[in-house]
Each structure stands twice: as structure tokens, then as C-alpha cells.
Structure 1
Amino acid sequence: MSRWGLTLPVTGVPLPAHRELVTRLPDLGYTDVWSAEASGTDAFTPLALVSQWAPRLRLGTAIVPVYTRGPGLIAMSAASLAECAPGRFVLGIGTSSPVIVENWNAGEFSEPYGRTRDTLRFLRSALTGEKVSEEYPTFTVRGFRLERAPEPAPPIMLAALRPGMLRLAGREADGAITNWLAPADVPTVRAELGQEAELVARIFVCPTEDADAARALGRKLISSYLTVPVYRAFHEWLGRGELLAPMHEAWAAGERKKANAVIPDEVVDDLIVHGSPQACRERIESYVHNGVTTPVIMLLPTGDDPLEQVHALAPG
């Protein structure tokens, strides 16, 4: 594999305690570390630490929401991290979700395609050190210039699920970041993105041979994520609408346990990688064979030592 990524921080491990693991990742065959941002760590702090602990790793945010920081602050944070890891940082931005934007951050989740497009265009200019005064369709910036423009400016990738955002990513960004898809879904996504752009996929990995336990955890995650409208639309586009309809009906009725129970095993097995470490590695490789450029493991908790599991899932 040309690239092999890991999502940090690992669940249950304090940020400072990652140092020993991170310093070993390049020798284990990992090339990338990507962060996430919801209600745990922010997207930038873990990567700032990794930038100093492992100077060989590429770092990426997956993703920074375009609503929860102002455009200028996104540019400043990205420039700071790019200065810590010159030539090794990728800025991933996206819409996030109404829950995170509105319920948790008092923002307004409106015009997601337009806001993402305009933020991308602003960042393209701002991260070169250009002075930006522009009335974009979804916001206006007057007289912003970075005091410490990074050299080189980092690539920018977009979180993208369906055709419109995937095409925008292929046309104006440096690639797309996606998740919650099966290996067989990758060609559908790749066809909209284009064949040349980088495609990063966060892959949920549960390294256990207890299939019942893995599926139980997978069902909880699937019902939590795929009932969000954007993910529901994504999987309807991918052809899982009928399989997931009973889950959506139960969820809408407030029957959470039933929503989990009616998710078919085939859907869980499509979207959650589980089994022995070797079986998991082979499954991850199938994403790459189908068109993913950079697989990024999102390690799910099994009760075993997550640091040992990271070692076991290394590509070598």
C-alpha cells in the first residue's frame, strides 16, 4: 500500500500518552495520521503534537467544520499547523452536521454546498498570503491577510459524499474525504470525484473475531450516523435505501433498540471491518484496490489494548 493512515487520538488513551505509539508508526508502515472533530479533541491539537513526535508522518484534518470557526480562524489554524509540519499537512474541511453546528456550537447550518465552496475558495487565496477582500455568496471577508503564511501552502480536501460535493472536490480541491462506505461503493464515489484526485476514506475497524460483539457495536454506530439526513441520502444513492428503511422507520418512531435490531448483518459487514487483524488488513486493502488512495483506520473499542491493536493492524 502506498499510504496507510490512522485516526488519532485513539479512544481511551490520553493525548500525552500517544507519544510512544506515534514515534513508532512510521516504522510500522503507517504513513498518515488524521484527526476528527465532534465533541472530543479539536482537529488541530493532536496533529500539532504528532508533528513534533514523528516528523515523517503526513497529517490531515478530517474534518474541520466550515461553520464552527470563522474563515480567517480556519486559515490561521491551518497555517500554524502547516508551519509545524511543512509539506506534510493536509487541511480537510467540510460541513459537519446540524447537531454539531447548531445544537452544540450555536451556529446556523445553511447552504452547506455553498458555504463549503466559498470557504475553499477563500482558503485557497488566504493560505498563499494574499490579502482577501471578497463578497462570497455565503459570507464576506474584508482585508484579511495571514501574518504567517505557510510555505508551502497546504493542500485542501473536502468532505464529500454525494455527486455535487464530490465533483466540487475533484474540480477545485485537492481531493475528497469520505466515510461510511463499503469497498464495493468506492467505484461509485470515484466516478464522481474523477480518477486523478486523492480519495481518503475513514474506515471503521473492529479487530475482533467475536462477530456478534462487532456487529452489536456496528449497529449502534450505524443507527447513530446513518439516520443523519446527509448519510441517509448517501446510502440511498449507494443503493441501501431499502435495506435501511426499517431502521429509519423505527428511529423516527423513537424505537432506538428496534432501529438497531433491524439493521441487516450484510449492512454491518459491508460498513464495519471486523475479524482477525489479518482479515481486517485484507479488507482494508480491498478499499485501495477499488479506488481509495488513502485508507484511514478508525479503531473501534473491543476491550483489548488499543495500542497493541494499532501494531497488529500495521500494513507490514
Structure 2
Amino acid sequence: MLASGITLGVPGQEELFEYTALAEEQGLESIWVGESWGRASVPVLTKLLERTETIDVCSGIFNIYARTPGLVAMTANTLADSGDGRFRIGLGTSGPAVIENFHGVEFDRPLRRTREYIEIIQGLLAGDRIDYDGEIFELSGFALDMNEYYECPIYVAAMGETNRQLVGEFADGWMPLLVPNTGLDDALGAVKRGADKGDRSLDDIDVTPWIPTCISEDDPAAAREHARSLIAFYVGTMGDFYANAAASFGFGEEADEIRAGWEKDGQTGAEAGVTDDMLASFGACGTPAEAAESFEQFQEAGADSPVAYIPSRWADSDIIRETITNL
């Protein structure tokens, strides 16, 4: 098996159910369901747990501004209870554009908020009565009113160095998007420093990079272009965040070309800036053999449980199914 799980971006709900059933048939371990400013993820996660038996259903991601940590703990415990423990919490900061312009909340102190979020959720899911005196959250006297407690693992979509250290110190998993196989080993250095600070081992953190993935034996060129589209979209449209991350891994010229291409000619222009070298470093695409080689490179660089990010926005249903069956 090449990947441990899948995420699909924004397919229709029924298509998501179909692809998840196929992933479960293939023996994949997890499905990660995103949430941005469209469909809310919790009803979808609930339906997925009802329709599956073995695969873990995971939030990918709950941003740390739209919900309180208490609400996340209640939601996670409820979802885990309905799915015999098959729920994992994926957390992240999202970005200022979404948090401030959609949710209307100030994007302040993301690192401190992430730390307090994790500590509070872990305590509540352990069944503890919480008395928490943080810099952001002050809580007193409450525990989850549940018959059973599920200590759901917490994964954090951390990119910056300090945030990666925080993952190593407090979280159960690291869930980065668009980290190249050429840079994953170095990026893990910050996670290890955090683990050392927390008297933990790197083995205690599940390294779960999301890898742009599209596979086709019959049309590998199309598969590569779909993965290229996904990389171009994130670097070209998501503010400075992913462009700066790409630059930090040695792809600064490419990031500039992608963003300039987006400004000039939208998605098509951005795709023109994604070089084959960048595609090979960030993605796993082409023929099944080519994708297998890419996943092996990620695993050699330190990935424990890579997640295939399938570009459902661009790929048709046939190639999505072929990708899943080749994982």
C-alpha cells in the first residue's frame, strides 16, 4: 500500500461517499474531510461514520478560530462514539483571509492559540474537569458530560518552524501540505526539537504529509497535469502562505512564477509556473510505478502515514477511482 489515507478536496457529497467506500475496500486507513467556506464538515463526517466500518474518518481541518476548544472536544467525542472510536482530529490555523473576512474573527496569536487548543481538548477527552488558566482561554469547573471518553489523536497542519516544534511537543501527528520529499527530512528537525522539549520521541508523532496524487496507467500525462493543477492552486491563490513555504524549500523562483501567472492568466497561468522538478518533489503522479517511487521517497524522508491528496477539482471520476485503486 502506497498511502495510508486519502483526501479529496471538494467533490460532491455522494461522490465522496463512493470514493470513501472504495478506499475502505482497498484497505486504506483514513479519509480526511476538509472545511473552508462551503459545506460544513461535521454532518459529512457523521454520515461517513454511519456508512463505513473500518476506515478512520478525520477532520482535515477544523480551524482553531471558528470553534471553541470545548466545542471541538464535544464534537470529537460524539463522532468517535458514533464510529467506535474511528475519529481523528485535524486542526490548523487556516489563514487571515478566511478567518477575518469570512468568520469575522481576528487572526491573532495562532501559535499560542494552537497550544492552548490542544491542551484543553486533550484534557476534556481524557474525562478531566478543566481548570485552565491560559493566555487566551480561561476555563473553570467543566468536564464533558459523556458516558464514555475517546482520546482521539490530534493532528496539526503545521508549516512554520515554531509551529512544527509545537507539534512535536504536544500533538499526536504532523499533517503538512505541500512539503517536498526533498525537504521533509529537514522540516522534521523542528518536530524532533519539540519532541525532545516535551520529553517525547519523534516516534510518538505520526508524520502524515498530504501529497498531491493522481495516478493513471493509460493516461499518465493527464494524471501529472491534475497534480500540477493542485500545486498551482495552493501556491497561486492562498495568499503568501504556501508561496513562502515553497520558497523556504528552495522553490522561490517557481513560487514567484506561479503567483505572477495567476495574476496574469488565472489557473492556467499558475499551472505554467509549476516545473516538472517541482511536481516530482511535491507530488506522486503519473503511472502507478512512478507514483510508487514518489511515495517511497517520502517514506525514506520520514513520512509514516502519507495521505494522497487527490485533485478532485480537476480530475474526472474515472481517474479518481483509478488513483484510489492504485494506492
Instruction: Indicate whether the TM-score tops 0.5.
Output: yes
Read off the aligned partner of 1:5 and give its amino acid letter. G
Percentage of identical aligned residues: 23
In 2 relative to 1, CA 279–262 (structure 1 residues): closer, same or farther, beyond 3 Å?
Answer: closer
Distance in 2 (CA, whole Å) between partners of 1:38 and 1:248 is: 21
* Partner residue, 1:164: 162
8 Å contact from structure 2 (residues 261, 272) kept in 1: no
Partner residue of 1:313?
326
* Cα pair 1:223 1:260 within 8 Å, conserved: no
Are 1:302 and 2:300 an aligned pair?
A: no
Aligned partners of 1:11 and 1:113: how far apart in 2?
28
Residue among 62, 75, 79 paired with 1:77: 75
**Pairing 1:267–2:275 present:** no
Query: How has the CA–CA distance of structure 1 residues 69 and 149 changed in structure 2, closer, same or farther, with 3 Å as cutoff?
Result: farther
Structure 2 unaligned runs (5+)? 193-201
Taking the aligned partners of 1:222 and 1:101, their CA distance within structure 2 comes to 17
1:53-64, aligned counterparts within 5 Å?
53-64=51-62
Counterparts of 1:244 and 1:307, CA distance in 2 = 27
Matched with 1:293 is 304
Alpha-carbon spacing, 1:87–1:246, altered in 2? closer, same or farther (3 Å) = same
* Cα pair 1:215 1:265 within 8 Å, conserved: no
Q: C-alpha deviations, 1:193-226, integer Å up to 9, x for none?
A: 133111111111233522574476246414435x
Shift of residue 186, structure 1, vs aligned partner: 1.6
| Contact 1:93/1:156 (<8 A) preserved | yes
Q: How many residues are matched?
A: 309
Per the TM alignment, residue 18 of structure 1 is displaced from its structure 2 partner at its CA by 4.5
State the secondary structure of the residue aligned to 2:241.
Answer: helix
User: For residue 309 of structure 1, what is the amino acid of its counterpart?
Assistant: E
Give 1:198's aligned residue: 206
- Counterpart in the other structure of 1:110: 108
Distance in 2 between residues matched to 1:205 and 1:157, nearest whole Å: 21
Q: Match of 2:68, as an amino acid?
A: G
Letter in 2 for 1:244: A
Report what 1:217 is aligned to: 229
Matched residue, 1:130? 128
Distance in 2 (CA, whole Å) between partners of 1:135 and 1:159 is: 25
| Structure 1: unaligned runs, 5 residues or longer | none
Question: CA-to-partner distance for each residue in 1:113-157, whole Å, 9 max, x for gaps?
Answer: 111111111111121222223231123334332112643311112
Structure 2 counterpart of 1:14 = 13
> Take 1:108 and 1:191, find their aligned partners in 2: how far apart are those partners?
31
The within-5 A match list for 1:39-50 is 39-50=37-48
Residues 86 and 152 in structure 1, CA contact (< 8 A), matched pair in contact too? no
Letter in 2 for 1:104: F
Going from structure 1 to structure 2, the CA distance change for 1:218 and 1:20 (only over 3 Å counts) comes to: closer
1:279 aligned onto 2:290: yes
Of the structure 1 ranges 154-163 and 36-45, higher mean CA displacement relative to structure 2 is found in 36-45
Partner of 2:151: 153
Question: 2:79 aligns to what SS in structure 1?
Answer: helix
Q: Distance in 1 between matches of 2:289 and 2:147?
A: 43
Q: In structure 1, what is the Cα distance between the partners aligned to 2:316 and 2:79?
A: 33
Deviates more, 1:283-292 or 1:273-282: 273-282
| Aligned 1:20-39 pairs, distance under 5 A | 20-39=18-37
Give TM-score, length-normalised by structure 2: 0.83
Q: How far apart are the structure 1 equivalents of 2:126 and 2:24?
A: 30
Query: Contact 2:33 / 2:59 at 8 angstroms: preserved in 1?
Result: yes
Question: Which residue number corresponds to residue 187 of structure 1?
Answer: 185
Name the aligned partner's letter for residue 316 of structure 2.
G
In 1, Cα distance between equivalents of 2:25 and 2:260 = 47
Letter in 1 for 2:4: W
Counterpart in the other structure of 2:245: 234
**RMSD, matched Cα:** 2.7
Of 171-180 and 261-270, deviating more is 261-270
1:141 to 139, 142, 157: 139
